[in-house]
Amino acid sequence: MSDNKEEVKTKTGGSSKTPIIVVIAVIVIALIALVVYFVSGNKTLTCTQTMDQSQMKMEAEAKISFSMNKADKVDATFNIELKDRYIPYKDTFVKEFKKQYSTYEKKYEIKPKYEETDTGLKMSFSASNNSFQKAMSISSNKNSYSQVKEDMEKAGYTCK
């Protein structure tokens, strides 16, 4: 009779290790998934472009956020400085610039913010990748990091 009690104790004692192993396996799998997500999934591509013309200089910067190697958000800033002899016409320039970009607001659902500076204008906006790709004439099926970088560089931007 005492032999049976020892068998029962051994069987129940061995089965208590199984839930611990399952919990450890689940934690390890979750940690691996998080590492993969953060290493390959979240990247930001920063692209800049400077255009210097006779009447103005424009510096553009687009920060494109990627999640799981797909572009999903863009934060863009355009800083426009008028050359000295065109500063007296700044109000007219700002009015025309806003008028021109109002089509982007309607057509691409981009809502820019404008800030006048002493020498010109600063425009910034945040947009979904889909809206930005339409505005930049980038194919919507090209939304991986390498494809977006290639298309932005073709458009004259320097990307890092």
The residue extents of the domains of the chain are 2-41, 43-159
- The correct answer on CATH 3.30.60.50 for the domain covering 43-159 is no
* pLDDT tens digits, 48-69: 999 999 899 999 999 999 887 7
Handedness of CA 129, 135, 141, 146 (dihedral sign): negative
Evaluate if residue 7 carries a pLDDT over 70: no
Structure token digits, residue 99: 């008028």
Residue of 120, 124, 148 lying closest to 136 (CA atoms):
148
Three-state SS at 53 = coil
pLDDT greater at residue 137 or residue 100: 100
Evaluate if residue 16 carries a pLDDT over 50: yes
Among 9-18, 33-42, 48-57, 143-152, name the most confident range.
48-57
- Which one-letter DSSP state was computed for residue 39? I
Residue type, 26: V
Evaluate if residue 35 carries a pLDDT over 80: no
> CA 58, CA 1: separation in Å to the nearest integer?
92
Q: Predicted confidence band at 10 (pLDDT cuts at 50, 70, 90)? A: very low
* pLDDT tens digits, 70-126: 888 899 999 999 999 999 999 999 999 888 888 878 788 888 899 999 999 999 988
How many alpha carbons lie under 13 Å from residue 142 in its C-beta half-sphere?
14
pLDDT greater at residue 138 or residue 66: 66
pLDDT greater at residue 22 or residue 76: 76
What pTM does this model have? Answer: 0.69
pLDDT greater at residue 35 or residue 120: 120
